[in-house]
Chains A and B, each alone.
Chain A
Amino acid sequence: MMTFSFDSLRQDKRAAIAATVGIGLVLAVFPFIVGSALGNSWLRILDFALLYIMLALGLNIVVGFAGLLDMGYIAFYAVGAYLYALLASPHFGLHLPVWIIIPCGAVLAGIAGALLGAPTLRLRGDYLAIVTLGFGEIVRIFMNNLNAPVNITNGPQGISSIDPIHLGGVTLAKPLSVLGITVPSLHAYYYLFLALALLIIFVSIRLQDSRIGRAWVAIREDEIAAKACGINTRNIKLLAFTMGASFGGVAGGLFAGFQGFVSPESFNLMESIMILCMVVLGGMGHIPGVILGGVMLTVLPEFFRHSAGPIQQALFGKILLDPEALRMLLFGLALVLVMLYRPAGLWPSTIRRREFSSGTDKEGA
């Protein structure tokens, strides 16, 4: 009996290592495959997908775990992006390194999250949604109008010529040469974003399976019972807002460095809704589902954009409908279908059944 269970355990471990190595290899060569098969525009989409995964995971903490419907999440993305833009562009003549700006962005966005959380602690559901929606718009309007009397954000023109991300003396804007292999800029960004996305996934998983994560879910399930269990719901909710926002701040900083340009346009309500859709559609509160949601909702609209034209050409011999308009139509249809047929999301969490007796530590620690 003992040897059998030990053997199966060892086999499990081996399988896990094999799977990790396999996934790692796929992720490592993925940009080269995409780049050579589909071209640079898809590589950019891939980079954006990673940014949206970070955003979706951040919002998942607030909406998925703690059950607080936040419709203004993009504001934290904006805070991170503008901080990077202000500290690394000719606008103020500052050119701070990325390893200072990104953590600062996370902290500043976290503070913004707490500022949003504090006045909304008593609100839930639709009321909270309305207040957070207002908050998101306020941040965007601030960015739009903080160009007078003192020009801070350069108003609607936005901030351009932002420094590309550079680590040490290496800039990601030009192709890199590593061990004789040339890594183009988009690939380099992919690896950086992937590393940070993996970090955020790791933090999310660790938080979910912890005392704090359980408290978040308890608040989502029944706030009064959570209070009666001794959970300080005020602090734990503020913590959810802060953690979620800080992920958004990181993604925002990376976005600014990647894009080289930020303007208030990029942070409108539609973007907040898009990220909320990723969380809801993927499977609220379930990390793999949310990642899937992030990828799907970044890739699908682009797929429709790229395919709507050629398909019409092949079917009818000419383009009847503008692909740009058709893309959102098809996208909307896809959303409706998913919600009708998979109301819990594409990949909802299953009831976690522990295969082995509940006596064994599930972490194997």
Chain B
Amino acid sequence: MKPTLLIANAISKQFGGVKALTDVSLTIRKGEIYGLIGPNGAGKTTFFNVLTGLYHPNGGELLFEGYKLRASAPHLAAQSGIARTFQNIRLFSNMTALENVMVGRHVRTQAGVVGAVLRDPQTRREEADIHRRAEELLHYVGVADRANDLAKHLSYGDQRRLEIARALATEPKLLALDEPAAGMNASETAELRVLIEGIRNDGITVLLIEHDVKLVMGLCDRVAVLDYGVKICEDVPAVVQKNPKVIEAYLGGSVA
């Protein structure tokens, strides 16, 4: 069995009286593509936000590579190797595609004000590295030809890809994708699938929230299903598909 990368231990999150997550525990292993599915409002994105430090959980803890992740510190989550994309794309709209990816390098570089002003050889080297790596990543996701266009002028599919490139720039060990195929047509989804498999083959573990059940079942090694903030199932896709609880959650009650 592959070694463990992330352990979520009884994560709970409440918004007022609403229990968005109740004691959600799951284990993600190194090198797998792990799917997180569930009906709308099941708490998938809430789990993402807790994982990446945007929300403070009411209970439970996250162990990443054996170390406890500090709650509500998104930049530390990124530093320890968790990168994410957003359900409703959040790019830096008025920066070029290239600059967006260059921002992703921030967490792995260190030039400060003095370096920026004096532009000493070390800073120049670092800047050149940032530039080169950003270009490589744009090539990798396939939007290199739009490098100098503003992010907001890119097509929807390209924006999704650019967001993945920006996330990859932080050198993640775990890449969390929040509905990357939303709004994509069949051919774009097929290309995305190739991209995600490529990322996994490069040794990056992928956590995927997705509505496209066909994509999830075809792509993921293991899948967890959330319903009303509770994990109802976690297994390989073939088993998950046959689980009566999952069928009930998706189809709404027993079939009369």
By a beta-carbon cutoff of 8 Å, the part of chain A in contact with chain B is: 202-203, 206-207, 210-215, 217-218, 221-222, 224-233, 239, 243, 351-354, 358-359, 361, 363, 365
Chain B residues with CB under 8 Å of chain A are 52-54, 74-75, 78-79, 83-84, 86, 90-96, 98-99, 102-113, 115-117, 119, 123-124, 126-128, 130-131, 135, 147-150, 166-167, 169-170
Is there an interface contact between B92 and A222, defined as CB atoms closer than 8 Å? yes
Complex-state Cα separation, A212 to B127, whole angstroms: 11
B137 to chain A minimum Cβ distance, whole angstroms, is 13
Contact A363 B148 (CB under 8 A): no
- Whether A231 contacts B117 by the Cβ 8 Å rule is no
Q: A210-B111, A217-B95, A365-B124 are in contact. Are A225 and B78 (CB under 8 A)?
A: no
Q: Is the CB of B109 within 8 A of A211?
A: yes
Complex alpha-carbon distance, A221 and B94, angstroms: 7
List chain B residues, Cβ under 8 A from A351: 96, 148-150
Query: Across the interface, which residues of A come within 8 angstroms of B93, CB to CB?
Result: 221-222
In the complex, the answer to whether B107 meets A211 with C-beta atoms within 8 Å is no
Q: Are B91 and A228 in contact (CB under 8 A)?
A: no
Could you tell me the distance between the alpha carbons of A228 and B103 in the complex, rounded to whole angstroms?
Answer: 11
Cα A11 to Cα B245 with chains together (Å): 73
Considering only CB atoms, which chain B residue lies closest to A217 in the complex?
Answer: B95
Q: Report the bound CA distance from A207 to B167 in whole Å.
A: 24
B79 → A minimal CB distance (Å):
6
Name the A residues within 8 Å of B84 (CB-CB).
228
CB pair B113–A207 under 8 Å, yes or no, is yes
Instruction: Give B64 Cβ to nearest chain A Cβ, in Å.
Output: 14
Residue picked from A203, A218, A353, most chain B C-beta under 10 Å: A218
In the assembled complex, how far is the CB of residue A241 from the closest CB belonging to chain B, in whole angstroms? 13
B119 engages A211 (CB within 8 Å)? no
A-B residue pairs, 5 tightest by C-beta: A230-B107, A230-B78, A210-B116, A221-B92, A227-B74
Q: Can you name the residue of chain B whose Cβ is closest to the Cβ of A210?
A: B116
Bound Cα distance A230, B82 (Å)? 9
